[in-house]
Chains A and B, each alone.
Chain A
Amino acid sequence: MSDHTHPPLTPLQTTTVKYKPEDEVDFVVVGSGAAGGVVAKELSTAGFRVVVLEQGPWRTERDFVHDELAVFDRSLLTNDYSKSPNTFRKTEKEKAKVQPAVAYGRGVGGTSVHFSANFWRFREIDFNEASRKGTLAGTGFADWPITYQELEPYYTKVDWEVGVAGAPGPFDPPRSRPYPMPPHPPKSTGVLLERGAKKLGWTAFPAPMAIVSKQYDGRSACAQCGFCLGFGCEVRAKSSSLVTTIPKAVATKRCEVRPNSYVRKVETDTRGRVTGVKYFDATKKEIYQRAKAVVVCANGAETPRLLLNSKSNLFPNGLANSSGVVGKYLMFNGAGNAMGQFEHEVNGFKGIVATRVVWDLYELDPKLGLVGGGGFDYRFDVTPIGFGFGGLPPDAPKWGSAYKRELQKQYNRTIVAYGHTSSLPVATNSISLDPEVKDDWGLPVIRMTYQDHPQDLKLYKYFADRSKQLLEASGAVHAWALPTDSQEFSVHLLGTCRMGNDPKTSVVDKNNRAHDVKNLFVVDGSSLVTSGRGQPTMTIQALAFRAADQIVGFAKRHEI
């Protein structure tokens, strides 16, 4: 915020069409994030009348600030715990306590606005790992009802529709079309990752990023400002729904995006069909928007909450929940990280988050006895205040001249080696409704129950050790592994309305249609069956393009 003014950008299209609540539109889309934007764009482009209801505001670049305190500690762009708290417990036996458990973008564009845009595709193994490697007792580890090959055309569609920079390498999953633009230049973090990887016999290559590296589709190239993770992009280089799919949806003149519209219930009739949604407008007035079908894209935490809050006589356990698995199998991705200090300046605070990745441990040697796998990048996602708190090794001085000297010396020389990993679907890890705590609108809040599976804790530890080893191989003067305790907070919210062929064990079918309700679709992070190795959003958007294709087909054939 301090030293620069915002660049003059021509405003993007805002809503040009208005529907009345009593108009029965073709589709209501709940949520305008990574998935919601895709669905809105595809359905309106195909000729349907769409209303997107988004609980947060419609921001523009001018509302984005480089302000660590406001963004991280005071929920400037994200869900506000003072109005909508979360509760958390490790096991079902405990009473949940009020504490932040999830963070997601609350506004048009959703979490894609302030995410860091690492954009890895899943691979074949992520879709069929359970049958290839064996499932695990006590978990819901299962194959997807679709394969990588079925999803590949949609991954490619995402690449070109939103703008992804990268270069195919020996480990890049098979693709039908090259990346639309070259990768970003390597930062010192990337050069060092290459060095360390080489020494360990691994390969580092350009990180696929949903950030445009050159002018693309009327958007300017990344300015490498460094305020990417957690912040909104001031130049429209980050390929968020706010600047990609949403403006295109609106430009069809068939899609109305209604911000500040908080959906509290999906309504059904006596035949068990969805008839529309009830939502609160900015003044907390309740409005009923009619629709022929509803697509819920509210993310892996809010989607199950909305379905559970939508219970009725016909759906006493919550909408689309005859299986009882709505909210269950919550997955986060894990992390096994280390930090290292280098001799020369790295200046990791400049530029995009990651420029090189290492995928040699995507699948692990079976001898290790571990489940899953992961990938690495080097980054420095520790903003100044954060660095003052915890940027130095645990045994470093905490105050005084020695502390000050270390801050001064190490800020520009420190790297976080990030080992992104899979995590297992476990039925008891869940989003449910808190029985006591209500939000400012009087609705039960998200209660998270979560404990990492013991196998996952072993995996995170393994990756933390490898992260440290990588840093040492890169020439770190000092490196230390970060602790890998069971997680209690996440920004990757996955698996809570899982996809499957069996209505008894899954919530949606392979086309993201609710098994129980013909005109209800759930399209977002909640339909993932496995977590992938760390970056879920590329897959969330590919699934959204695929689901939208299917929904358009159903609608045209009157099969909704």
Chain B
Amino acid sequence: MSTLSRRNFVAALGAGAATVWLTAEARDLLAAGKRAAVAAQAQAPFKILTADQAADLDAAASRIVPSDGTPGAHEANVVRFIDESLAGFGKDQRDDVNKLVAELRRLAGERHKGAKSFAALTPGDQDAVIATMEKTKGSHFGLLRAVTVTGMFANPEYGGNANKNGWKLLGFDDHFSWAAPFGWYDRNV
């Protein structure tokens, strides 16, 4: 792998939590048949997250990649990816994700007296909470961003990137083969 770009994107997060997430113990999800099944489960109950936790994470991921005209983290089903990972290769991160949700709720309460969930805030208040997290050392902003990015862009078999919404956003696709011209510059030499 390109050590530099790899190192760089991990460094770019500025948070150790995400690195742990990404290098977490691996086997389970690859085990037989599981991957194909996951994609079909958009409506199924969550395995690890409670419905309230899922709602808060969905709302928070949607501030990282909003659904502003084109599909965002919500349409990519990032929250399903989080749940599936916590049930499988990311099971060591359950505690961190619980803490992330707790932080979102605490900050929601501080922002809006009486608010019990992050999801209940207006988008504007939600953004203010995320902005606070981004600025605060030791917050779970890095983890929130890491799970959102990974859930947006990992293969759909992991439960996120639904309808390849993440890849469509980038303009990426996984084809078996490509042929020249590959881009504008080799087409217009």
Contact = CB atoms under 8 A, between A and B. Distances in A.
Interface string B150-180: 1011111110000010110111111111111
A416 B2 contact: yes
Interface in A495-518: none
A384 interface: yes
Interface string A323-351: 00000000000010100001011111111
B37 interface: no
Contact of A389 (B149, B166, B167, B183): B149
B5 A350 contact: no
A191 B183 CA distance: 10
List the 10 closest pairs (A to B, CB-CB), nearest first. Answer: A390-B9, A188-B183, A344-B184, A390-B12, A388-B149, A223-B177, A74-B26, A389-B9, A4-B176, A188-B185
Interface in B61-100: 63-66, 68, 70, 72, 89
Which of B5, B12, B189: most chain A CB closer than 10 A? B5
A404 B2 contact: no
A490 B183 contact: no
Contacts of B68: 401, 404
A412 B183 contact: yes
A400 B6 contact: no
Interface of B: 1-13, 18, 22-26, 30, 63-66, 68, 70, 72, 89, 127, 130, 134, 145-146, 149-150, 152-158, 164, 166-167, 169-187, 189
Given A226-B178, A389-B149, A412-B170, A404 B72 contact: yes
Contacts of B9: 382, 386-387, 389-391
Contact of A388 (B6, B153, B174, B179): B153
A408 B170 contact: yes
A177 B150 CA distance: 47
A2 interface: yes
Given A347-B182, A399-B64, A74 B155 contact: no
A337 B185 contact: no
Contact of A384 (B8, B70, B166, B176): B166
Which of B24, B154, B166: most chain A CB closer than 10 A? B154
A418 B2 contact: yes
Contacts of A384: 153-154, 166-167, 170, 172
A487 B26 contact: no
B186 A188 contact: yes
A408 B169 contact: yes
Contact of B5 (A66, A76, A81, A416): A416
B98 to A, nearest CB: 21
Contacts of B13: 389-390
Contact of A400 (B24, B66, B157): B66
Nearest to B177: A223
Given A3-B173, A350-B178, A490-B3, A389 B23 contact: no
A482 B8 contact: yes
A225 B10 contact: no
B184 A337 contact: no
B25 A67 contact: no
A498 to B, nearest CB: 22
A391 B5 CA distance: 8
Contacts of B158: 69
Contact of A82 (B6, B25, B183): B25
Grouping DSSP codes into helix (H, G, I), strand (E, B) and loop, the A interface class, with mixed when no group exceeds half, is loop
Interface residues of A, number: 76
A398 B64 CA distance: 8
Which of B4, B24, B149, B155: most chain A CB closer than 10 A? B4
B182 A225 contact: no
A400 B5 CA distance: 23
Nearest to B72: A404
Nearest to A464: B4
A340 to B, nearest CB: 13
A292 B182 CA distance: 53
Interface in A208-228: 223-227
B26 A398 contact: no
B3 A335 contact: yes
Given A81-B23, A385-B149, A389-B9, A348 B157 contact: no
A529 interface: no
Contacts of A379: 2
Nearest to A339: B5
Nearest to A405: B68
Contacts of A4: 174-176
Nearest to B12: A390
19 contacts: A1-B157, A3-B174, A67-B157, A69-B158, A74-B23, A74-B24, A75-B26, A81-B23, A186-B180, A188-B186, A224-B177, A224-B179, A234-B176, A346-B185, A381-B2, A388-B150, A390-B9, A401-B68, A416-B5
A223 B176 contact: yes
Nearest to A409: B171
A187 B180 contact: yes
Nearest to A488: B7
Interface in A52-72: 66-70, 72
B179 to A, nearest CB: 6
Contact of B146 (A2, A75, A389, A418): A389
Given A401-B68, A407-B169, A103 B183 contact: no
A2 B183 contact: no
Contacts of B154: 67-69, 384-385
B6 A403 contact: no
Nearest to A234: B176
A280 interface: no
A197 to B, nearest CB: 14
Given A2-B156, A69-B150, A385-B153, A491 B3 contact: yes
A274 to B, nearest CB: 35
B104 to A, nearest CB: 14
Contacts of B146: 389
Interface in A353-406: 379, 381-382, 384-391, 394, 398-401, 403-404
A403 B171 contact: no
Nearest to A381: B2
Contacts of B89: 74
Contacts of B164: 2
B66 A187 contact: no
A346 B8 CA distance: 21
A11 to B, nearest CB: 20
